[in-house]
Structure 1
Amino acid sequence: MYLTKRSKVEQATVTNLRLSWKEARPVVQGIFALRFFCAALLADHHTNGAVWPRVAGVLGCWVAATWAIYLLNGVADVVEDRENGSVRPIARGILPVDFAKSVVVGLSAVAIGFAALFSPVVCLLVALHLAAGIAYSTGPRPLKGNVPGFFGAVVALGGLTYLCGWYASGATEIGAPLLLFGGAMSLWMGFGGATKDLSDVAGDRLAGRRTLPVVLGDRAARIAMAIGASAVGWGFLLAALRWAPSVAPVGFVVCAGSVALALVVSSNASRGERFRRRRPYRTFMITQYTAHLTLLVSLIFQ
């Protein structure tokens, strides 16, 4: 009987860990890993080459930290997630909040502990990544609760990821390709990522969050999102053609994605039921993945 009880406990733990990963949104975890890897690959092509075993080790730390950040976000967003009809595990009540919190603590400790084995700089970058994620979701005034806080935290999470990927390669000086690619894609996270709020207005109002649609109203928020995304897309393309031709193919992708996002967010295709209101966010995510995969292919075959 003891073995049976132990087996059930172990099975429950494995199930809850799997649900914790699902809560942290695998599609988001994937794009963070791609950001990190693309920065390392840029360093490999524009410096003296990357130390790939080190890159893999630091990436493991970064994945643990990012998992912790988004799992904590699920814990903090449970009220609005339920109001918005989210199907994530915590909102559905199938992942215990206490277990999720324990996983957050464990992942954070593992991320910082192993990062310290690589170097003080890596440890600092991982700690800053966690700090930005924690400040985004928790505290007396979570950064997610207002537009400037959201934008600053999201751009910081992106910028730190690109910076750590570059540094993990062994590079010491930051090059123009990283500044342009990492800066543009971090801004894309801020402007494009805000489109998720279009489908979450009811829950955000309930939680007291001052998102763009809550503050400006639906129509004005959509116009602002279209303008912001277009500025990033066209600005990135023109800057890449002028100063960093190696990332110009990515510039074309992001520019095309910004046009698509502006069209979708401005049209009736993204109005109505929640699935339709999520279309601008899906356009944003597809553009992100396509941009990073384009960079990988273009650098590998250079």
Structure 2
Amino acid sequence: MTTKTLSQSADAIGFARSVRLAWHEARPVVQIVFMLRFLAGAALGATYVGEVAAATAVTAALSWLAATWAVYLLNGVADVVEDRANGSTRPIARGDLPEETAERIVWALATTGLVLGALVSPVMLLLVVLMLAVGWAYSMGPRPCKQYMPGFLVSVFALGVLTYLAGWQAAGAGSPHGPVLVFGIAMSGWMGLAGWTKDLSDTTGDRLAGRRTLPVLLGEWRARVVMAAAASLVGWTFVLLSAGLAGDLLPVAVVVCVGSAVLALVATTPLGQGDRAAKRRPYRVFMVTQYATHLTLFLCLALDQVA
């Protein structure tokens, strides 16, 4: 084997390792739930159009995966100071993935997302552009949205809504209407008003980085009470909206409502207090509820098809 061949093999191995680390940095559990959101929008759209073009749907899904991966990898670059202060073990924080390498991968992913989005439709391209723009504003803007509660809530809500809309467009369903609006708005609200439970375990680094999160602003106990109330508000509002406007979504809304009750219990009792792992339990309830909700939606849609 020649020296050139050995060098090429080493470069390929190094590139593959960097991509693997970049995937880990972007939090696979979050990437999967974003894809579930996309698929939920597509599944709801399919109920209106019937047959969905498989090639178009796959291209759109890959486009969205590239965009969300880019957004969260960029966030990892932006959060390195607070991540290290909080004891994060993600690749950038522990020094295994250089920030410069991560930034190059972000550019490659963003370009891939835009090109694939353009192949689907002008609307999909626009949605990818908006997704990348919101992600950049959240992490890297002149006044990053992550630094302030209003910016956090608006940007996270937007990331959710754009994802459900992208799935709907991938199905070729046209203007959004009906259950996708109820489901998309409710679950995007869940992202913002229950997802901020992540801040409970990150107060040290957030304060160091100048982030004005709810625990930093109110103190931990008051923040827990507000988070519990906000999650419950989303759960019960979803139930009421489903009962009045989209009855087929009622079983799905009940899952969110139950999840909100569990989250409130964990957040305001010793179950969610103690060391960093314990403080992350409310956030884990938030994530599990998302998975359970989307899987319940798919099950309900499948049963409707059988019926």
Output the TM-score relative to the length of structure 2.
Answer: 0.96
**AA at the equivalent of 1:24:** A
Secondary structure, counterpart of 1:159 in structure 2: helix
Secondary structure, counterpart of 1:180 in structure 2: helix
The 5 Å alignment of 1:1-302 reads 1-302=3-304
* Percent identity of paired positions between Structure 1 and Structure 2: 52
**Deviation by residue 1:144-165 (Cα, 9 ceiling, x = unmatched):** 0010000000000000000111
**AA at the equivalent of 1:159:** V
- State how far apart, in whole Å, the 2-side matches of 1:86 and 1:59 are: 30
**AA at the equivalent of 1:16:** S
- Matched residues, number: 302
Output the TM-score relative to the length of structure 1.
Answer: 0.98
Secondary structure, counterpart of 2:172 in structure 1: coil
Instruction: Tell me, yes or no, if the aligned pair for 1:162 and 1:178 is still in contact at 8 Å.
Output: yes
Secondary structure, counterpart of 1:89 in structure 2: coil
The Cα of 1:167 is off from its aligned counterpart by 1.2
The Cα of 1:48 is off from its aligned counterpart by 4.3
- State how far apart, in whole Å, the 2-side matches of 1:295 and 1:114 are: 27
Instruction: Tell me, yes or no, if the aligned pair for 2:35 and 2:65 is still in contact at 8 Å.
Output: yes
Change in CA separation of 1:39 and 1:57 when aligned onto 2, cut-off 3 Å: same
The Cα of 1:10 is off from its aligned counterpart by 1.3
Instruction: Tell me, yes or no, if the aligned pair for 2:63 and 2:112 is still in contact at 8 Å.
Output: yes
The Cα of 1:94 is off from its aligned counterpart by 0.5
**Deviation by residue 1:126-182 (Cα, 9 ceiling, x = unmatched):** 000000001000022100001000000000000000011111101113222011000
**Deviation by residue 1:208-263 (Cα, 9 ceiling, x = unmatched):** 00001001111111111011100000110121122111111111100000000010
Greater CA drift, 106-115 or 50-59: 50-59
The Cα of 1:266 is off from its aligned counterpart by 0.6
- State how far apart, in whole Å, the 2-side matches of 1:299 and 1:274 are: 38
Instruction: Tell me, yes or no, if the aligned pair for 2:49 and 2:171 is still in contact at 8 Å.
Output: no
- State how far apart, in whole Å, the 1-side matches of 2:178 and 2:47 are: 12
- State how far apart, in whole Å, the 1-side matches of 2:38 and 2:45 are: 11
- State how far apart, in whole Å, the 1-side matches of 2:203 and 2:254 are: 32
Instruction: Tell me, yes or no, if the aligned pair for 1:48 and 1:171 is still in contact at 8 Å.
Output: no
- State how far apart, in whole Å, the 2-side matches of 1:53 and 1:43 are: 16
Cα RMSD of the aligned pairs, angstroms, is: 0.9
**Deviation by residue 1:64-105 (Cα, 9 ceiling, x = unmatched):** 000000000000000000000000000010011111000000
**AA at the equivalent of 2:65:** V
Instruction: Tell me, yes or no, if the aligned pair for 2:77 and 2:92 is still in contact at 8 Å.
Output: yes
- State how far apart, in whole Å, the 1-side matches of 2:12 and 2:46 are: 42
**AA at the equivalent of 1:167:** Q
- State how far apart, in whole Å, the 1-side matches of 2:9 and 2:124 are: 38
- State how far apart, in whole Å, the 1-side matches of 2:102 and 2:284 are: 26
Unpaired runs of 5+ residues, structure 1, are none
**Deviation by residue 1:238-293 (Cα, 9 ceiling, x = unmatched):** 21122111111111100000000010001111111000000000000000000000
- State how far apart, in whole Å, the 1-side matches of 2:9 and 2:175 are: 51
The Cα of 1:54 is off from its aligned counterpart by 1.4
The Cα of 1:5 is off from its aligned counterpart by 2.2
Instruction: Tell me, yes or no, if the aligned pair for 1:41 and 1:50 is still in contact at 8 Å.
Output: no
**AA at the equivalent of 1:168:** A
